[in-house]
Structure 1
């Protein structure tokens, strides 16, 4: 159809280009965060919103801020049978918009040190990551057939300092 219609209006056959990266890498990548502070904040009419801070945020996943990307999250470091509470997963940056997941259900007994897995973060999160607020980028680990291997190591403070040339 495209060939016929292009010829009918005197145009050359167009070239079709596809960027499959997001479809391939996006669903196959999970970001694991460590829970830091947990704080319940009373809202209007007595409602409670639980804020769960993690050791990452907009420097390793800017897509939530830029595109309002939505993700799913699960507690992965242990099994919990506690009733779930509505929670907001937030990053460690000094920005009110550093929200990884706006509203989700997490176990009521969530505690500092627990690990949360945010699914489908492979679509450009690492390539768009930054060192904003001097937050070091996390490592990248590949997992296949029950084995893991480090692809990119976690950044260190020494990595930051190596770039400083002033006195």
Structure 2
């Protein structure tokens, strides 16, 4: 086995472990073993990754709300989700749109739009993690949202970098 193949194999196995940790984070389950750990801290679940700041993720149990903050370990306090001066690194905006039916233009259907944003980060690892986590949040929303086909279209998930 060549060095390149071995490195690729190690990278892929770490990505699988990271995806598992992200799934545990979104499922609100603690994971206290391995390279990537998930710990409950107050209203947040924190993803700890070696050599990076920790991601503090807030999820509302009552509605679809996600707010993620990259937080340095040296800070003892948790982010205040009600304080608008603390901008989340990952957040969600919800909208509704009325769309005419293609077969019957007089019939108007509702479509929910979930815009998931991640803030630009100069660290390429954090930027890539933001993309992976926002994609996982989008997949989770699509799998958990129920629609009534007679009145509603499939929800639209948009992922983009915040301004």
What TM-score, normalized to structure 2?
0.25
Q: Which structure features the higher share of helix residues? A: 2
What TM-score, normalized to structure 1?
0.24
Q: Of the two, which has the highest radius of gyration?
A: 1
The structure with higher relative contact order (CA 8 Å, sep 6+) is 1
